Amino acid sequence: MKTNPVIETLLSHRSIRKFKDQPLTEEQIQLLVESAQAASTSSFTQSYSIIGVDDPEIKKQLRIISANNQFYVEHNGFFFVFVADQYRNQLIGRDHHEDTSVLDTTQRLIVALGDASFAAQNMAVAAESIGLGICYIGSILNDINKTSELLQLPDHVYPLFGMAVGYPDQDPEKKPRLPHDVVYHRNHYNPQPSRDALDAYDQAVRRYYETRTGGTREETWTGQIARGLGNPYRKALKPFLEKQHLGLR
Q: At residue 248, does pLDDT exceed 80? A: no
Same domain, 165 and 205: no
Mean pLDDT within 166-172: 96
Inside any domain, residue 97: yes
**Residue range 11-15: mean pLDDT, rounded:** 95
Inter-axis angle of helices 56-66 and 144-151, nearest 10? 170
Cβ 221 vs Cβ 207: under 8 Å = no
Tell me 50's DSSP state.
E
pLDDT digits (tens, 9 = 90+) for 221-235: 999 999 988 888 898
- Residue 38 shares a structural domain with residue 156: yes
Q: What is the pLDDT of residues 140-150, one digit of tens each?
A: 999 999 999 99
Q: How far apart are CA 77 and CA 22, in angstroms?
A: 6
Assigned domain for 227 exists: no
Question: Does the pLDDT at position 67 exceed 90?
Answer: no
Task: Report yes or no: 53 and 77 within 8 Å, Cβ to Cβ.
Answer: no
Specify the DSSP class assigned to residue 79.
Answer: E
Identity of residue 210: E
CA dihedral 212, 224, 160, 77 (to 10 degrees): -10
As for how many domains the chain has, the answer is 2
| Residues 50 and 139 occupy one common structural domain | yes
Containing domain of residue 58, as a range?
Answer: 5-172+232-243
Looking at the fold, whether 103 and 208 belong to one and the same domain comes out as no
Q: What pLDDT, on a 0 to 100 scale, did the predictor assign at position 29?
A: 98
- The CA distance from 10 to 8, in Å, is 5
pTM of the model: 0.93
Task: Check residue 80 and give its pLDDT.
Answer: 98
96-152 pLDDT, tens digit per residue, is: 999 999 989 999 999 999 999 999 999 999 999 999 999 999 999 999 999 999 999
Q: Check whether residue 39 and residue 65 sit in a common domain.
A: yes
Q: What is the DSSP letter of 15?
A: B
Helix (H, G, I), strand (E, B) or coil at 95: helix
CA distance 62 to 52: 13
Give how far the C-alpha of residue 168 lies from the chain's centroid of Cα atoms, to the nearest Å.
18
Q: What average pLDDT does the structure give for the chain?
A: 94
> Is 73 in contact with 164 (CB distance < 8 Å)?
yes
Identify whether 236 is part of a domain. Answer: yes
